[in-house]
Amino acid sequence: MKVQWEQFEGSVEIAPGVTIWSRAKTTIEPYKGYRVDAEVSVAESGRVEIDSLTVSRLPGGEPVTGEALRKVAVQSIIRDAVKTGIQQSIGSTIAPGTQVSALGMIPTEDAVRLKHEGPTAETLEWVGRIYRVSELIDSAPTKAVEETFGISRSTAGAWIGRARAAGHIPPVDK
């Protein structure tokens, strides 16, 4: 599956040091046998949303049906669009061919190093970034921290608490 940006405008910092477009038009092809065009934007709430979505038949492909439309995973499209934005933002500083984690935000070797260093200031900054981006795309933030660093759920929770206390994650609304 290939995600292409036809155009994008504006920018918004979605987490400290992570800036992406505020609005973009993307094309994903092939997507489950179809071409998908989506207009994606960062809402005032900070969430990434789809403003419009078009599903088209590929040359020689199956027609667009109700069943085909039900297979469109909107969250997957949002995640792929954000991942592309992140790769163009901070991912461009990562050498080609480098293994990456957390939607392409951090080289895997750096994540492993930070795991071994424990909850240092640098680690907690990354925990905050990963948490906030995961929230933005309606993904499970604790699981993202857990998977990025290869740590237990309880350790991820402890690191998230420390990152929140350090101001890298906003306080929970009561």
Q: How confident is the model at residue 166 (pLDDT cuts 50, 70, 90)?
A: very high
* Stretch 89-109: mean pLDDT: 78
Task: Indicate if the pLDDT at residue 17 is higher than 80.
Answer: no
Task: Indicate if the pLDDT at residue 143 is higher than 60.
Answer: yes
Look at residue 115 in the predicted model and tell me its pLDDT.
Answer: 95
Percent of the chain with pLDDT strictly greater than 70: 91
**Greater pLDDT, 171 or 91:** 171
Task: Indicate if the pLDDT at residue 74 is higher than 80.
Answer: yes
Look at residue 173 in the predicted model and tell me its pLDDT.
Answer: 67
- Final residue belonging to a domain, choices 29, 64, 92: 92
* Nearest Cα to Cα of residue 93 among 103, 105, 110, 81: 105
DSSP string, 68-88: HHHT--HHHHHHHHHHHHHHH
Domain count for the chain:
2
Whether residue 119 is found in the same domain as residue 53: no
CA distance 54 to 148: 33
Task: Indicate if the pLDDT at residue 165 is higher than 90.
Answer: yes
Give domain status of residue 22, yes or no. Answer: yes
Among 31-40, 85-94, 151-160, which is the least confidently predicted range?
85-94
Give domain status of residue 146, yes or no. Answer: yes
CA angle 71, 73, 79 (to 5 degrees): 155
Give domain status of residue 71, yes or no. Answer: yes
Look at residue 92 in the predicted model and tell me its pLDDT.
Answer: 60
* Stretch 145-149: mean pLDDT: 95
